[in-house]
A = this chain, B = another copy of it.
Amino acid sequence: MSLSHGILGFLSYEPMTGYDLAKFFSSSVNFFWHAQTSQIYLELGKLEKNGMVSSEQILQTEKPNKKLYSLTPAGKEELQRWLKENKDTPDAFKDYKSAFLMQIFFSGDTSETETMERLQKFSSQCQEIFQQLDGIANQLQSTPEKDPVSARRAACWALTADFGKRYMEMCTQWAQDGIRTLRQLQETPGPDQT
């Protein structure tokens, strides 16, 4: 229900092709909404059928032809409607799914060493993503937008990038502390080990 709204969101910036959208997705919202390129095309098709977007063939000679998609008035309306929609129940995390945490949860029968390795790997991955997001955040900060519209967009982007950075920081910390806890568990075999 949200890839389509993400597409509408980006198209509200300016008309673009499916290919452009894929790049925008992977360079900005990727960490909280990974989109398959193929899915974008599928969704564009549906949106066009519903009258949310319209397309225009652009013939090119040096490059393959392309289809430029734009928001229709109905699409703009739907985007606004969705932006205002907020779920009241602690629903913000209903969609949150983590196979990784599930594995940790059930690793009671796994050796501590293995679990520690897993945590270590996770921690490294988080640091990697942190670096990426940090790059984005710095770039956003160092290139001030001239017009107020872009400035506001950049501010929103910065807000989400900041979320990502904090999230990754938290994950790294958690994993490191977890490793320490497990090490202690390993070293103290329990009060009575007969």
Interface residues of A (CB under 8 A from B): 1-2, 5-6, 9, 12, 28-29, 31-34, 79, 82-86, 88, 90, 92-110, 114, 118, 121-122, 125-126, 128-129, 148-149, 151-153, 155-157, 159-160, 162-163, 166-167, 169-170, 173-174, 177-178, 181-182, 185, 190
Distance (whole angstroms) from the CB of A13 to the closest CB of chain B: 9
**Which chain B positions have C-beta within 8 A of A9?**
102, 105-106
**A185–B108 touching, CB < 8 Å:** no
Tell me which of B97, B98, B108, B148 contacts A152 (CB under 8 A): B108
A140 to B59 CA separation, bound complex (whole angstroms) = 65
**Which chain B positions have C-beta within 8 A of A86?**
103, 118, 121
A6 to B135 CA separation, bound complex (whole angstroms) = 36
**A125–B90 touching, CB < 8 Å:** yes
* From A99, A109, A190, residue with most partner B Cβ within 10 Å: A99
**Which chain B positions have C-beta within 8 A of A107?**
83, 156
**Which chain B positions have C-beta within 8 A of A101?**
29, 32-33, 160, 163
**Which chain B positions have C-beta within 8 A of A102?**
2, 5-6, 9, 29, 32-33
- Output the nearest chain B residue to A162 by Cβ-Cβ distance: B174
Tell me which of B34, B105, B128 contacts A156 (CB under 8 A): B105
Copies held by the complex: 2
**B96–A32 touching, CB < 8 Å:** yes
Known A-B contacts: A1-B99, A104-B160. Give 5 more (CB < 8 A).
Answer: A32-B98, A79-B106, A84-B110, A93-B125, A107-B156
Tell me which of B170, B178, B182 contacts A170 (CB under 8 A): B170
Distance (whole angstroms) from the CB of A12 to the closest CB of chain B: 7
With A97-B2, A99-B1, A167-B170 in contact, do A156 and B125 touch (Cβ < 8 Å)?
no
**Which chain B positions have C-beta within 8 A of A32?**
96-98, 101-102
**A99–B95 touching, CB < 8 Å:** yes
